[in-house]
Structure 1
Amino acid sequence: MKKIKMAGAALVLACALPAQAGAILGGSALLDASGHAQLERWLGQGTFDLSNVFTRDGDDTSADFHAATDGRGPTFTLMQVTNDAGQSFLVGGFNPQGWSSTDGWHNTPSDAYRTGFIFNMTEPAVYRQVLSDYVLPSQGERQTFNGIDYGPTFGTGHDLYVNASLKAAFSWQVTYGNPLDSGLSIIDRSLGGQLVQVDALEVFTLSPIPEPATYAMLLGGLALLGGAARRSIVIK
């Protein structure tokens, strides 16, 4: 009987392993499976689940954004924006350090920590922090700005900024992307950081999913435990 229970437990666990990686928990009006896969490729750290921890409602402000996201670890921010020409874009950024309402600048003096990036999924295009081997080593240092009156804000430019009402944004490249493109917007490539309307905004935390090899090791370990249990039963 004990043998059957052990085998049954291993079978149940095997069936419980996720059949498909990369779930979007809590849903999203902005991100589908292909967009999720694109974020995984840009991050380059394998597959992960996303959990929607903040979706802007009509009256939400930067204080609501921080209440939902501060101290939650790395996040993806996505926003649908519309410029004066009526063009719509899906843009956002990856914040490796997590948000805070009091920290001010999150600086990254070392290249090892310059792992943030901003992106335009409509293009698609990704803009990573400028590394320290550039003629001005500090250009890519300021990863995010963290203040109660700021929505999600990336870079010195600001490279991607959302205001306190969470209803307007602009982009002025400095910290992210090609330094020769300083002053351009990652949204519509206009010059001068023109304000755009934020139509929707969502923030997601990440939960890495173990690779299949990890599952194989787990099941192999269970098999060894099962064998040890059987031997123990025989000895008794």
Structure 2
Amino acid sequence: MSATSSFDSFAYQLIDLNVCDGIDPSVSFLDDSSVNGWALLRDINGAVRESVQDGSRGERPVQVRIDTGDAYLAGDATPTSASSLVTIRGGIADTNTDSFLGFVLAPYTQVTFTIDARATASAAGSPNYAFATVAVNGTVTDEDGNHILETDGLSSYLASSDTLSVTLRSAGVARMGTLEFATAAHALLQPVPEPASMAMLVVGLAVVGGYARRRSARGAYSRAVCM
């Protein structure tokens, strides 16, 4: 059972909302980026087997790993790219990444940020599941100091890819904003009994079945005598 989500880079396009103001449209990225990653592996009852997380500010990439032989979880992220992966033979696995970029929009500027996102997951039947998500969230402050949020996302239980985008605008003065990229992969798989366990189960069922048949036969014989 596996799931993976990723994006490689982002692009942006600018539009001048007031061509008569003499100010060129622009977006300036700040040196306050941050990146975070988490990986969590639990047994089928929800008890934590292993957990790891990492975070950084600036350009340092983040990497999280869990490898137990029967499960592999991986998360990688920079301010402009990220991926999450889970592969399990049984249990519950979750991997997540978040990347944040701060920016400033020049007055009367519209910016559209885009990323090429991919999400794939193994087919599964209830109660098992596997799914992956990618999201982009953009926020900018308006003239009243309110935060205007735009978001787009991709979620898949099989395989999918799409171009995600958010569009943000400033008015008569420069505006600060943030851009967030997130990836996630999740899976739950009921463990399959080992061959020896299956053999013991079959033997146990046979014994129980034979005992039940003997009880049924004795019951039928007793009823016949009583009649």
More strand by share: 2
TM-score (norm 2): 0.27
More helix by share: 1
Rg larger for:
2
TM-score (norm 1): 0.26
